[in-house]
Copies of this chain bind each other. A is one copy, B any other.
Amino acid sequence: MSTNSNPTSGFQFNHTMYRVKNYKASLDFYTRILGMSLLDSFEGGDFTLFFLAFDGAGSESERKASKFSREGVLELTYNHGTESQDVTYANGNTEPYRGFGHIAITVPDIVAACDYFEEQKVAWKKRLTDGKMRNIAFILDPDGYWIEIVENKMRI
C-alpha cells in the first residue's frame, strides 16, 4: 500500500506521440511553419523520435532536459524508410478507425494566424469561414493529422 497521501502529486501531461511518414516534411512543418523548437531527438535502431515544443528556449542541454519535465511536448515517431514505402498513417477521424481526433494550437490572434497559414500554403481541413463555427479552424500536417487553431482568449 502506498503511504503517500497524494500519489499523483507532480504528475504532468508531458507529451503526445504520433507517427510520421516523412520526418523531413514533418520537421519543416512543425518548426518552420508552426514555430515549434526541436528539443531533442533519439535514434533507436530502426526508428527515430523527435521531441518538439513551443518556447524551447535555453541551451541545448536545457532543451534536451526539458523534454520530460514540461508539458506541451509533441513526440513524432519516424520509422525508418516509411517515406519510400506504401505507408499511410490514420489520422483517427475516419471510420472504421476513429479514436484520436486532433491536437490544438492556441494563438493570440486567430485571424492573423490563419492569414499566416494561407501565406504558408498549408493544407486546410476547415478555414475560419467554412461551416458554422467561425472561431476555430483546422489545418492538416503532412500526414493529414488535424491541428485545431483556437484563439487563446476564446470562451465557450
A contact residues vs B (CB 8 Å cutoff): 1-2, 4, 6-19, 34-36, 40, 42, 53-54, 65, 68-75, 77, 89-92, 96-108, 112-113, 115-116, 119, 143, 145, 148, 150-156
Contact = CB atoms under 8 A, between A and B. Distances in A.
Contacts of A13: 36, 53-54, 72-74, 103-105
B112 A17 contact: no
Give the number of times this chain occurs in the complex, counting copies.
2
Contacts of A14: 72, 104-106, 150, 152
Contacts of A70: 71
A68 B100 contact: no
A94 to B, nearest CB: 9
A2 B112 CA distance: 8
A10 B68 contact: no
Contacts of A97: 90, 92, 96-97
B113 A7 contact: yes
Nearest to A18: B100
A1 B91 CA distance: 31
Nearest to A100: B100
Contact of A68 (B69, B90, B99, B106): B106
B19 A152 contact: no
19 contacts: A1-B119, A9-B35, A9-B108, A10-B152, A11-B35, A13-B73, A14-B106, A16-B104, A17-B102, A17-B148, A18-B92, A40-B156, A54-B71, A75-B104, A90-B90, A90-B99, A92-B100, A99-B100, A100-B100
